[in-house]
Amino acid sequence: MDEILETWPHLSSAERMAIFASIPRGQVDEFFLDLPSRDQCEIVHALPENERRIWLRLLDPDDAADLIQLAPSDERSALLALLDPVAQREVAALMAYQEDEAGGLMSPRFARLRPEMTVDEAIAYLRRQAPQFETMYYAYALDERQRLAGVVSFRSLFSADRETTVREVMRTNPLTATEDMDQEAVAKLFSKHHLLAVPVVDSANRMKGIVTVDDIVDVVQEEASEDIQKLGGMEALDAPYLEIGFWRMVQKRAGWLAILFVGEMLTATAMGHYEEEIARAVVLALFVPLIISSGGNSGSQATTLVIRAMAIGEVRLRDWWKVVRREFWAGLVLGTVLAVIGCSRIWIWQGIWRPYGDHAKVVALTVGISLLGVVLFGTLAGSMLPFLLRRAGLDPASASAPFVATLVDVTGLVIYFTVASVIMRGTLL
Amino acid sequence: MDEILETWPHLSSAERMAIFASIPRGQVDEFFLDLPSRDQCEIVHALPENERRIWLRLLDPDDAADLIQLAPSDERSALLALLDPVAQREVAALMAYQEDEAGGLMSPRFARLRPEMTVDEAIAYLRRQAPQFETMYYAYALDERQRLAGVVSFRSLFSADRETTVREVMRTNPLTATEDMDQEAVAKLFSKHHLLAVPVVDSANRMKGIVTVDDIVDVVQEEASEDIQKLGGMEALDAPYLEIGFWRMVQKRAGWLAILFVGEMLTATAMGHYEEEIARAVVLALFVPLIISSGGNSGSQATTLVIRAMAIGEVRLRDWWKVVRREFWAGLVLGTVLAVIGCSRIWIWQGIWRPYGDHAKVVALTVGISLLGVVLFGTLAGSMLPFLLRRAGLDPASASAPFVATLVDVTGLVIYFTVASVIMRGTLL
């Protein structure tokens, strides 16, 4: 079974349906439940109408809602109608939420108790209701108006004295998520407090459902993938790499690539300004790629660090000054390291081949000072851009490495040629 | 309490101890348990010796093992001695594992049953033992030699008939992790199968402990952070950005920056080869940054996509040919888009300012063809490098965006000047 799941993402639709049909009956339901919603939807879609019902009814309401939301919009109501009336109501309620909100992640099937039950009554009750729960880790005590009064873990319920009431063992004021809370914020709750489930409540503290930690693992992976792809200089893909349509993928990449390209055109304009200088001292042109790429690389490091630290909550908006100070010194040190390596290289080459004639000293000085300036600027720009973007209400991850590199390339050229015109005046220029 | 946890990472050691001392007694234990191991260790370390014991004993064995492993090596045995004898044995056993292995993540306190117990006996037994379990979601049926015979969820135990035996309701051949399994592989198990806990067994199928999903959320975050930092062109940091020592951070960044810089020096060498061409046609130099950065950006997109898809198991080594074909066409399309924009820009500038004199056509042709070639090469190189690295047994994430950009910069120059020397022969060159 595991091997099938392993090769599954790499098969065509027809191959998948053939394999699905070949799995023995005792194993096929577990296999189906293990698939991502997208693949479940594909299978249900490919089956004849009279075979769809058992698969849809096999799913828990939150998973059924995910599947139906992935289906073409004109098929959704037909799929919903395949469920039993209770599940239909539950699923329809879940479908009102965005997929990436707490409401879209939650299951309405949690273990409910009344605060005044005794522990013994509670355990007997839970035992009767067990088959329909999504999770058996916490039970939720609701008052007569469905408001959340407290949470009790099965562990403490089990170890409590039989005659105490639920109210006595439950924890009041538990952590909750609101229905429209972003899934990234929900994931942070889980990872900060090491929870297995979080209750979802509406504005009147009425309990709507629970989000369980197994769904959060997927959320964390998904959010990390999105951030990584944005950092790589493209829009986040909305499907696995091998499954997304070719033109859709190209579109997600071409947009940013074109924007970066148009930005990078400024380098040609900047270089045009220094055309005369280059004509007089061609040696200047030789170091252009080296200098601008050093700025780009140091900017890429700084922006990556800050964006990731922001995403997992290590750095907040108001830490910007701490980050500036840190990155200023980091930029100075890193710039000095590269300047020393760069000058040594010119020195050694000069010792062996004398490619710079009588001007090795001014060339080395120009390259060294420019490197220091460009790396310092790259580091500062790369670390501050995510703050500016967040401040402006945008996603800091849009300050991708290529974006910072482009910004630094143009500025790097200006720094380099300015330094050159000061240092080389009277000798090469 | 939440506000304290929120500001916690941003405080100095002394501030932390002052706040810790000020938390009321009824809340301080929960606060302590919510902290990451690193911070727990810092607190225990800062407390006088006679206050350390209660905090250490508060922890579950797996968390105590993590804390002790973070302490200076000469203090570890003193800390271990503070635990009660049973916990000492458990913690010492856990400390034999690497922190990033299944063994290092697991808890030895799981719910054990015998297969021949009845459901009623099992529930009564679990009820007595409840306080000491790490999780109450699954119980594990072990035979007389401690080998894992099966797993039963509390849900099915609760809903089963009282007189059936555990053997009849348990699932045999459950998914297991081995003690030395890498934490990334364990995380994949969880996310693929939506599990709440996985049993860890040794080579003889003897059960050693369980890994629970709440620890996996942290693992997934941690692995994503490592990959993101490597993609940004540095070594992964081993502590949060604002907490890691300045020189340690600079060291993690300077290494790769220097390597990339030395690689990038080849661009100066390559440019040196074309010095004469540049001297004859300075216009060539103007487009150098534009062309090489386009290669770098497209390479960065491709490598980011492939590395992430590999990390989460969407793409395997043997998919390389599929990826080559996909990226070849993507590279052609993306290259064409940029070439069209690039040529248009030259055309428009020429229409307005005539900066390229009589040679606009050859300049546009050279830039256009070079862009196509460089983007195609960048895309292919960026997508294939992760495969080569994995094939060689290295971490594919080392093919960071800046690394690919450096590789493509040098090749891009060669492509550009070769195209130029063919097209411009007889006109500008």
CA angle A83, A85, A87 (to 5 degrees): 60
The ipTM value here is 0.81
* Neighboring chain A residues of B253 at a CB cutoff of 8 Å: 298, 301, 330, 334
Query: Which pLDDT score, from 0 to 100, does residue A337 have?
Result: 95
Inform me whether the C-beta atom of residue B237 falls under 8 Å from chain A C-beta atoms.
Answer: yes
Inform me whether the C-beta atom of residue B5 falls under 8 Å from chain A C-beta atoms.
Answer: yes
- Tens-digit pLDDT profile for residues B124-139: 888 777 766 666 678 8
Per-window interface: B 170-189 vs A, CB < 8 A: 187
* Neighboring chain B residues of A295 at a CB cutoff of 8 Å: none
Q: A126 and B158: CB-CB below 8 Å?
A: yes
Q: Are A197 and A213 in contact (CB under 8 A)?
A: yes
* Neighboring chain A residues of B215 at a CB cutoff of 8 Å: 194
Q: Which of A33, A257, A345 sits opposite B301 (nearest CB)?
A: A257
Instruction: Please provide the distance, in angstroms rounded to a whole number, between the alpha carbons at the two ends of chain A.
Output: 72
Per-window interface: B 108-147 vs A, CB < 8 A: 126-127, 130-131, 133, 135-137
Which helix (H) or strand (E) segment holds residue A418: the answer is: helix A401-423
Can you name the residues that pair with B198 across neighbouring β-strands? B211
CB burial class (10 A; 0-12, 13-18, 19+) of residue B22? Answer: exposed
* Neighboring chain B residues of A224 at a CB cutoff of 8 Å: 220-221, 224, 227-228
- Tens-digit pLDDT profile for residues B147-157: 999 999 887 88
CA angle A165, A200, A161 (to 5 degrees): 15
Inform me whether the C-beta atom of residue A289 falls under 8 Å from chain B C-beta atoms.
Answer: yes
SS3 category, A98: coil
CA nearest to B232 within chain A: A301
Q: Which of B127, B196, B405 sits opposite A293 (nearest CB)?
A: B405
Inform me whether the C-beta atom of residue A58 falls under 8 Å from chain B C-beta atoms.
Answer: no
CA nearest to B294 within chain A: A261
CA nearest to A321 within chain B: B242
Tell me how far apart the alpha carbons of residues B17 and B44 are, in angstroms, rounded to a whole number: 10
- Tens-digit pLDDT profile for residues B353-389: 887 878 888 999 999 999 999 999 999 999 999 999 8
- Tens-digit pLDDT profile for residues B27-55: 888 888 888 888 888 898 888 888 888 88
Identity at B239, one-letter amino acid code:
A
Tell me how far apart the alpha carbons of residues A94 and A83 are, in angstroms, rounded to a whole number: 14
Can you name the residues that pair with B178 across neighbouring β-strands? B201
> What DSSP line would sit under A115-165, residue for residue?
TTSBHHHHHHHHHHHGGG-S-SSEEEEE-TTSBEEEEEEHHHHHHS-TTSB
Residue linked to tokens 């960044």: B253
Q: B288 and A285: CB-CB below 8 Å?
A: yes
Inform me whether the C-beta atom of residue A228 falls under 8 Å from chain B C-beta atoms.
Answer: yes
Q: A155 and B130: CB-CB below 8 Å?
A: yes
* Neighboring chain B residues of A187 at a CB cutoff of 8 Å: 217
Inform me whether the C-beta atom of residue A383 falls under 8 Å from chain B C-beta atoms.
Answer: no
Tell me how far apart the alpha carbons of residues A305 and A382 are, in angstroms, rounded to a whole number: 9
Inform me whether the C-beta atom of residue B300 falls under 8 Å from chain A C-beta atoms.
Answer: yes
Q: How would you classify the pairing of strands A148-153 and A138-142?
A: antiparallel
Tell me how far apart the alpha carbons of residues A258 and B298 are, in angstroms, rounded to a whole number: 10
Continuous H helices in B72-203:
76-80, 85-94, 102-105, 119-129, 154-159, 166-169, 183-193
Q: Which of A5, A193, A289 sits opposite B288 (nearest CB)?
A: A289
Q: How many residues does this entry show for chain A?
A: 429
Inform me whether the C-beta atom of residue A342 falls under 8 Å from chain B C-beta atoms.
Answer: yes
In a mutational test of the B interface, the residue from A125, A216, A300 whose CB has the highest number of chain B CBs within 10 Å is: A300
Inform me whether the C-beta atom of residue A1 falls under 8 Å from chain B C-beta atoms.
Answer: no
Q: A220 and B225: CB-CB below 8 Å?
A: no
* Neighboring chain B residues of A212 at a CB cutoff of 8 Å: 196
Q: Are B424 and B362 in contact (CB under 8 A)?
A: yes
Per-residue pLDDT tens listing for chain A (429 residues): 667 777 777 788 888 888 888 888 878 888 888 888 888 988 988 888 888 888 888 888 888 888 888 888 888 888 888 888 888 888 888 888 887 888 888 888 888 899 998 988 888 888 777 766 666 678 899 998 889 999 998 878 888 888 899 999 998 888 899 998 988 889 888 877 878 889 999 999 999 999 988 888 888 888 888 888 888 888 888 888 888 888 998 998 998 889 889 888 899 888 888 988 888 888 889 999 999 999 999 999 999 999 989 888 888 888 999 999 999 999 999 999 999 999 999 999 888 888 887 888 899 999 999 999 999 999 999 999 999 988 888 888 877 888 888 899 999 999 999 999 999 887 777
* Neighboring chain B residues of A312 at a CB cutoff of 8 Å: 221, 225
Question: What Cα–Cα distance (Å) separates residue A182 from each residue in A103, A201, A208, A285, B31?
Answer: 9, 14, 16, 50, 25
Query: Which pLDDT score, from 0 to 100, does residue B126 have?
Result: 83
- What per-residue string of b and e applies to A226-257 under the rule 16 or more CB within 10 Å gives b? bbbbbbbbbbbbeebbeebeeeebbebbbebb
Query: Which pLDDT score, from 0 to 100, does residue B135 have?
Result: 63
* Neighboring chain B residues of A240 at a CB cutoff of 8 Å: 309, 314
Query: Which pLDDT score, from 0 to 100, does residue A232 have?
Result: 84
pLDDT for residue B3 is more than 80: no
Per-window interface: B 242-271 vs A, CB < 8 A: 242, 246, 249-250, 253-254, 256-258, 260-262, 264-265, 267-268, 271
Inform me whether the C-beta atom of residue A165 falls under 8 Å from chain B C-beta atoms.
Answer: no
Q: A338 and B257: CB-CB below 8 Å?
A: yes
The sheet with strand A177-178 has its strands ordered as A177-178, A197-201, A207-212
CA nearest to B379 within chain A: A253
Backbone angles phi, psi at A149, to 5 degrees: -95, -30
Nearest to A223 by CA among A259, A178, A186, A177: A186
Query: Which pLDDT score, from 0 to 100, does residue A1 have?
Result: 66
Q: Which pair of tokens denotes residue B288? A: 């150098």
Tell me how far apart the alpha carbons of residues B355 and B374 are, in angstroms, rounded to a whole number: 24
- Tens-digit pLDDT profile for residues B95-114: 888 878 888 888 888 888 99
Inform me whether the C-beta atom of residue A413 falls under 8 Å from chain B C-beta atoms.
Answer: yes
Per-window interface: A 305-324 vs B, CB < 8 A: 305-309, 312-316, 319, 322-323
Query: Which pLDDT score, from 0 to 100, does residue A386 have?
Result: 93
Rounded to the nearest integer, the mean pLDDT of chain B is 87
Query: Which pLDDT score, from 0 to 100, does residue B103 have?
Result: 85
* Neighboring chain A residues of B221 at a CB cutoff of 8 Å: 191, 220, 224, 312
Query: Which pLDDT score, from 0 to 100, does residue A2 have?
Result: 66
